[in-house]
Protein backbone atom coordinates (compact mmCIF):
# COMPACT_ATOMS: atom_id res chain seq x y z
CA UNK A 1 0.00 0.00 0.00
CA UNK A 2 1.39 3.38 -1.00
CA UNK A 3 1.76 6.07 1.63
CA UNK A 4 0.69 9.59 0.66
CA UNK A 5 3.66 11.81 0.03
CA UNK A 6 4.47 14.54 2.53
CA UNK A 7 3.78 17.17 -0.15
CA UNK A 8 0.30 15.81 -0.88
CA UNK A 9 -0.63 15.55 2.80
CA UNK A 10 0.65 19.09 3.36
CA UNK A 11 -1.50 20.38 0.46
CA UNK A 12 -4.49 18.47 1.80
CA UNK A 13 -3.99 19.97 5.27
CA UNK A 14 -3.75 23.44 3.72
CA UNK A 15 -6.94 22.88 1.68
CA UNK A 16 -8.84 21.60 4.72
CA UNK A 17 -7.60 24.49 6.87
CA UNK A 18 -8.55 27.11 4.27
CA UNK A 19 -12.00 25.52 3.88
CA UNK A 20 -12.50 25.53 7.63
CA UNK A 21 -11.31 29.13 8.00
CA UNK A 22 -13.59 30.24 5.16
CA UNK A 23 -16.59 28.52 6.75
CA UNK A 24 -15.87 30.08 10.14
CA UNK A 25 -15.49 33.47 8.42
CA UNK A 26 -18.92 33.19 6.78
CA UNK A 27 -20.53 32.26 10.10
CA UNK A 28 -18.82 35.19 11.86
CA UNK A 29 -19.93 37.50 9.06
CA UNK A 30 -23.54 36.59 9.82
CA UNK A 31 -23.05 37.84 13.41
CA UNK A 32 -22.54 41.47 12.42
CA UNK A 33 -23.68 44.47 14.45
CA UNK A 34 -23.81 48.27 13.97
CA UNK A 35 -21.81 50.78 15.98
CA UNK A 36 -23.45 53.73 17.74
CA UNK A 37 -23.10 57.14 16.06
CA UNK A 38 -22.11 55.55 12.72
CA UNK A 39 -24.55 54.83 9.85
CA UNK A 40 -26.42 51.64 10.71
CA UNK A 41 -25.64 49.82 7.46
CA UNK A 42 -21.92 49.87 8.34
CA UNK A 43 -21.67 46.78 10.51
CA UNK A 44 -18.74 45.24 12.36
CA UNK A 45 -18.10 41.53 12.19
CA UNK A 46 -15.12 39.43 13.18
CA UNK A 47 -14.90 37.45 9.94
CA UNK A 48 -11.39 38.77 9.19
CA UNK A 49 -9.94 36.83 12.15
CA UNK A 50 -9.92 33.41 10.40
CA UNK A 51 -8.43 35.08 7.30
CA UNK A 52 -5.71 36.55 9.52
CA UNK A 53 -4.94 33.11 10.96
CA UNK A 54 -4.75 31.62 7.44
CA UNK A 55 -2.50 34.46 6.25
CA UNK A 56 -0.15 34.06 9.22
CA UNK A 57 -0.14 30.27 9.14
CA UNK A 58 0.47 29.92 5.39
CA UNK A 59 0.94 33.10 3.36
CA UNK A 60 -0.79 36.35 2.40
CA UNK A 61 -2.37 34.46 -0.53
CA UNK A 62 -4.11 32.10 1.92
CA UNK A 63 -5.68 35.10 3.64
CA UNK A 64 -6.84 36.44 0.27
CA UNK A 65 -8.38 33.06 -0.55
CA UNK A 66 -10.31 33.00 2.75
CA UNK A 67 -11.52 36.59 2.19
CA UNK A 68 -12.64 35.72 -1.34
CA UNK A 69 -14.46 32.51 -0.42
CA UNK A 70 -16.09 34.20 2.58
CA UNK A 71 -17.54 37.01 0.47
CA UNK A 72 -18.64 34.71 -2.35
CA UNK A 73 -20.44 32.39 0.08
CA UNK A 74 -21.98 35.30 2.00
CA UNK A 75 -23.31 36.76 -1.24
CA UNK A 76 -24.48 33.33 -2.49
CA UNK A 77 -26.44 32.85 0.74
CA UNK A 78 -28.36 36.02 -0.10
CA UNK A 79 -26.98 37.81 2.95
CA UNK A 80 -25.46 40.73 1.08
CA UNK A 81 -25.29 42.69 -2.11
CA UNK A 82 -22.48 42.59 -4.71
CA UNK A 83 -21.22 46.08 -3.88
CA UNK A 84 -21.04 45.25 -0.17
CA UNK A 85 -19.23 41.98 -0.92
CA UNK A 86 -16.73 43.87 -3.10
CA UNK A 87 -16.17 46.49 -0.36
CA UNK A 88 -15.82 43.86 2.37
CA UNK A 89 -13.33 41.87 0.29
CA UNK A 90 -11.10 44.89 -0.30
CA UNK A 91 -11.40 46.06 3.32
CA UNK A 92 -10.26 42.60 4.41
CA UNK A 93 -7.33 42.64 2.01
CA UNK A 94 -6.22 46.10 3.10
CA UNK A 95 -6.35 44.92 6.71
CA UNK A 96 -4.81 41.43 6.61
CA UNK A 97 -2.04 41.92 4.03
CA UNK A 98 0.11 44.32 6.14
CA UNK A 99 -0.26 42.01 9.15
CA UNK A 100 0.77 38.97 7.14
CA UNK A 101 3.66 40.65 5.32
CA UNK A 102 5.16 42.10 8.51
CA UNK A 103 4.68 38.87 10.46
CA UNK A 104 6.28 36.70 7.77
CA UNK A 105 9.16 39.12 7.41
CA UNK A 106 10.02 39.51 11.12
CA UNK A 107 8.20 36.49 12.65
CA UNK A 108 7.40 38.01 16.03
CA UNK A 109 4.41 39.07 18.08
CA UNK A 110 5.69 42.65 17.91
CA UNK A 111 5.63 42.56 14.10
CA UNK A 112 2.13 41.09 14.17
CA UNK A 113 0.89 43.90 16.45
CA UNK A 114 2.65 46.48 14.25
CA UNK A 115 0.90 44.87 11.29
CA UNK A 116 -2.49 45.17 12.99
CA UNK A 117 -1.93 48.88 13.59
CA UNK A 118 -0.62 49.38 10.04
CA UNK A 119 -3.49 47.34 8.59
CA UNK A 120 -6.04 49.42 10.49
CA UNK A 121 -4.57 52.67 9.16
CA UNK A 122 -4.29 51.34 5.59
CA UNK A 123 -7.85 49.96 5.73
CA UNK A 124 -9.25 53.28 7.00
CA UNK A 125 -7.45 55.33 4.34
CA UNK A 126 -7.90 52.83 1.51
CA UNK A 127 -11.61 52.33 2.17
CA UNK A 128 -12.08 56.10 2.25
CA UNK A 129 -10.73 56.38 -1.29
CA UNK A 130 -12.54 53.24 -2.45
CA UNK A 131 -15.85 54.54 -1.04
CA UNK A 132 -15.36 58.00 -2.49
CA UNK A 133 -14.51 56.88 -6.01
CA UNK A 134 -16.20 53.48 -6.42
CA UNK A 135 -18.47 52.15 -3.66
CA UNK A 136 -20.70 55.17 -2.98
CA UNK A 137 -21.12 56.03 -6.69
CA UNK A 138 -21.94 52.35 -7.38
CA UNK A 139 -24.59 52.31 -4.64
CA UNK A 140 -26.08 55.53 -6.06
CA UNK A 141 -26.01 54.34 -9.64
CA UNK A 142 -27.01 50.67 -9.26
CA UNK A 143 -29.22 50.72 -6.18
CA UNK A 144 -30.59 54.26 -6.05
CA UNK A 145 -28.94 54.96 -2.70
CA UNK A 146 -28.89 58.71 -2.03
CA UNK A 147 -26.48 60.31 0.43
CA UNK A 148 -27.69 63.01 2.75
CA UNK A 149 -24.90 65.57 2.48
CA UNK A 150 -21.58 65.35 0.70
CA UNK A 151 -19.50 62.22 0.15
CA UNK A 152 -16.59 63.85 1.96
CA UNK A 153 -18.63 64.45 5.13
CA UNK A 154 -19.99 60.92 4.96
CA UNK A 155 -16.49 59.49 4.64
CA UNK A 156 -14.92 61.56 7.42
CA UNK A 157 -17.86 61.09 9.80
CA UNK A 158 -18.69 57.46 8.93
CA UNK A 159 -16.21 55.45 6.88
CA UNK A 160 -12.97 56.50 8.60
CA UNK A 161 -14.21 56.11 12.21
CA UNK A 162 -15.94 52.84 11.34
CA UNK A 163 -12.80 51.27 9.86
CA UNK A 164 -10.59 52.51 12.70
CA UNK A 165 -12.96 51.09 15.35
CA UNK A 166 -13.38 47.85 13.39
CA UNK A 167 -9.60 47.41 13.07
CA UNK A 168 -9.09 48.11 16.77
CA UNK A 169 -11.83 45.70 17.81
CA UNK A 170 -10.50 42.91 15.60
CA UNK A 171 -6.95 43.57 16.80
CA UNK A 172 -7.98 43.54 20.48
CA UNK A 173 -9.70 40.20 19.98
CA UNK A 174 -7.05 38.70 17.70
CA UNK A 175 -3.96 39.38 19.86
CA UNK A 176 -5.09 37.32 22.91
CA UNK A 177 -6.37 34.54 20.63
CA UNK A 178 -3.07 34.50 18.78
CA UNK A 179 -1.06 34.50 22.02
CA UNK A 180 -3.10 31.59 23.37
CA UNK A 181 -2.71 29.59 20.15
CA UNK A 182 0.89 30.60 19.37
CA UNK A 183 2.55 27.32 20.51
CA UNK A 184 0.14 25.26 18.39
CA UNK A 185 0.43 27.81 15.60
CA UNK A 186 4.26 27.62 15.53
CA UNK A 187 4.16 23.82 15.48
CA UNK A 188 1.64 23.71 12.59
CA UNK A 189 3.52 26.37 10.68
CA UNK A 190 6.66 24.21 10.76
CA UNK A 191 4.68 21.14 9.65
CA UNK A 192 3.00 22.76 6.65
CA UNK A 193 5.95 24.66 5.23
Is the pLDDT score of 181 beyond 90?
no
| Mean pLDDT along residues 97-111 | 94
What's the pLDDT at 2? 47
* pLDDT tens per residue across span 23-38: 999 999 999 999 998 8
Write down the mean pLDDT value for the chain.
Answer: 90
What are the structural domains, with CATH classification, of the chain?
6-182 (1.10.1760.20)
What is the value of pTM for the model shown?
0.89
Residue 158 CB: number of other CB atoms within 10 A?
19
Residues 6+ positions from 63 with CB-CB distance below 8 Å: 51, 52, 54, 55, 56, 92, 93, 96, 97, 100
Amino acid sequence: MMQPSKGRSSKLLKLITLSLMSTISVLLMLLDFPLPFIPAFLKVDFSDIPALFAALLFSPVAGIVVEGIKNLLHFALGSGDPIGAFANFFAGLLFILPVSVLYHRYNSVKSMVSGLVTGTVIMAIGMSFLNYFIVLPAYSWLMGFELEGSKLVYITAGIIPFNVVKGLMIGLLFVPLFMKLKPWFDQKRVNVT
